């Protein structure tokens, strides 16, 4: 076999070219890495500034919100001799950060509060944030603090087939056979035979309002007078299945039953308040209240009788009972549901044959912790203040 001669210079030239290409690629790669590294280093101060600005903005938001909270409190507890007019330079700590609150009277019992926070940022710059809220002030009504799902005035049972979502407070001793997701607080002992979140014994008493139901027949709300729809107990059977009582003469839609509410058919009251000056007898029918959060939707002076397959549903608005609720043994198919809190002078029945659900969605979901009512023993005390709107003035 014949072998061709090999030229060593040709191989040397090829290797040199390969080394040159490799060196070029290395240099290009180093240049790219250098440029990227410099870009990252230049970006670090920007990221730090952005983080610092976000922290400053968050602090300003919280400070401005604190101003609105103070403003709402001042309107619930007005100074002697007039309305609260705002504040300038309020400081809540030693940081030197402050907020101002301006108050504008919009008329008809409505006020606009604007809270402006003044803050020194981490880099020494001035930071401001302003928020605004419109409040409705009802000075003719009393306010009852209700952050509990249930409050009882004299001892408390939670029957075995009852579910309470939230806290309960019992003036007296509490016997729990059902489920309470929150705290059971009692001025006496707590006997737990059910399922509770926590318990607190021998605590201070929780006030139960003594409401004069006569005050609901003529009332004042938002500067306007109202006259309730008064129905004699003998005329209850003539009621239509659905009542929409709110109008210009009765803006809160108050319906007063003068005597017992002895149902012969289902009854639903929309956007109103039902006041019963006697007993409620469901007789296997459905009574449904769609009231207003922040007010009592159902107020009962006498006893409430749950019989047969009765349903008592309070979708919106709190419930006040001056006397007991009684469940008959033939009412296994009954269903009772209070969605915005129950306040009762007496205890619940120790044995409830149907389903019982108690919640306070107004507080749990919207933070509404005050229920307004008329004719209270503390009339002229803390006023009822309802936030109507919220606006960020400058983001």
DSSP reduced 3-state for 325: strand
Supply 9's token pair. Answer: 């210079």
| 181 and 80 share one domain | no
pLDDT in tens, 50-80: 666 788 888 888 888 888 888 887 777 666 5
Q: Which domain holds residue 225?
A: 143-379
| 91 and 118 share one domain | yes
**Which residues of the chain are under the pLDDT cut of 70?**
1-23, 25-27, 30-31, 33-52, 77-82, 138-141, 221-224, 329-331, 350-351, 375-384, 395
- The reported pLDDT for the residue numbered 49 is 60
Q: How many domains does the chain have?
A: 2
- The reported pLDDT for the residue numbered 108 is 77
Cβ burial of 20 (10 Å; 0-12, 13-18, 19+) is: exposed
pLDDT in tens, 152-161: 988 888 888 8
| 73 and 98 share one domain | yes
| 214 and 170 share one domain | yes
| 117 and 164 share one domain | no
pTM: 0.65
Strand partners, 300: 276, 321
CA angle, 155 then 160 then 164, to 5°: 70
Do 219 and 252 contact (CB within 8 A), yes or no? Answer: yes
- Residue 5 is assigned to a structural domain of this protein: no
| 189 and 119 share one domain | no
Report DSSP letters for 51-82, one per residue. Answer: HHHHHHHHHHHHHHHHHHHHHHHHHHSPPTTS
Name the one residue in this structure whose structure tokens are 């003035």: 393
| 308 and 343 share one domain | yes
pLDDT in tens, 80-129: 556 778 888 888 777 788 999 999 988 877 889 999 989 888 778 888 88
- The reported pLDDT for the residue numbered 380 is 38
- Residue 222 is assigned to a structural domain of this protein: yes
| 198 and 323 share one domain | yes
Q: Residue 99: which of 121, 73, 75, 130 has the closest Cα?
A: 130
- Residue 1 is assigned to a structural domain of this protein: no
Name the one residue in this structure whose structure tokens are 């003719």: 140
- Residue 4 is assigned to a structural domain of this protein: no
- Residue 65 is assigned to a structural domain of this protein: yes
Neighbours of 202 (CB within 10 A): 11
Do 329 and 352 contact (CB within 8 A), yes or no? Answer: no
């Amino acid at each position: 076999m014949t072998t061709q001669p090999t030229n060593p210079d040709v191989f040397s030239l090829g290797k040199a070219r390969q080394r040159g290409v490799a060196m070029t690629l290395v240099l290009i790669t180093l240049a790219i890495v250098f440029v990227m590294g410099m870009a990252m280093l230049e970006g670090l101060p920007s990221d730090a500034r952005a983080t610092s600005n976000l922290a400053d903005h968050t602090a300003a938001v919280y400070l401005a919100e604190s101003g609105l909270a103070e403003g709402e409190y001042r309107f619930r507890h007005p100074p002697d001799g007039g309305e609260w007019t705002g504040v300038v330079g309020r400081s809540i700590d030693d940081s030197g950060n402050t907020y101002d609150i301006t108050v504008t009277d919009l008329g008809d019992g409505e006020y606009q509060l604007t809270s402006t926070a003044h803050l020194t940022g981490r880099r020494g710059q001035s930071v401001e944030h302003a928020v605004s809220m419109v409040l409705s002030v009802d000075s003719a009504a009393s306010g009852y603090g209700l952050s509990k799902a249930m409050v009882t005035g004299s001892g408390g049972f939670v029957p075995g087939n009852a579910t309470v979502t939230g806290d309960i407070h019992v003036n007296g001793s509490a016997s729990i056979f059902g489920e309470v997701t929150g705290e059971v607080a009692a001025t006496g002992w707590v006997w737990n035979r059910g399922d509770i979140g926590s318990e607190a014994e021998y605590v201070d008493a929780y006030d139960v309002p003594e409401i004069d139901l006569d005050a609901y027949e003529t009332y004042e709300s938002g500067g306007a007078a109202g006259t309730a729809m008064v129905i004699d107990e003998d005329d209850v059977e003539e009621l239509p299945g659905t009542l929409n009582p709110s109008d210009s003469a009765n803006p809160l839609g108050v319906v007063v039953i003068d005597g017992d509410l002895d149902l012969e058919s289902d009854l639903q009251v929309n956007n109103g308040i039902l006041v019963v000056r006697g007993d409620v007898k469901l007789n296997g029918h459905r009574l449904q209240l769609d009231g207003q959060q922040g007010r009592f939707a159902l107020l009962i002076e006498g006893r409430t009788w749950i019989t047969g397959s009765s349903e008592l549903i309070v979708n919106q608005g709190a419930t006040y009972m001056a006397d007991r609720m009684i469940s008959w043994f033939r009412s296994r198919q009954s269903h009772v549901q209070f969605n915005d809190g129950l306040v009762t002078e007496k205890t619940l029945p120790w044995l409830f044959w149907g389903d019982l659900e108690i919640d306070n969605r107004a507080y749990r979901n919207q933070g509404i912790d005050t229920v307004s009512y008329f004719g209270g023993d503390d009339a002229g005390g803390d006023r009822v203040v309802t936030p109507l709107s919220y606006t960020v003035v400058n983001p």
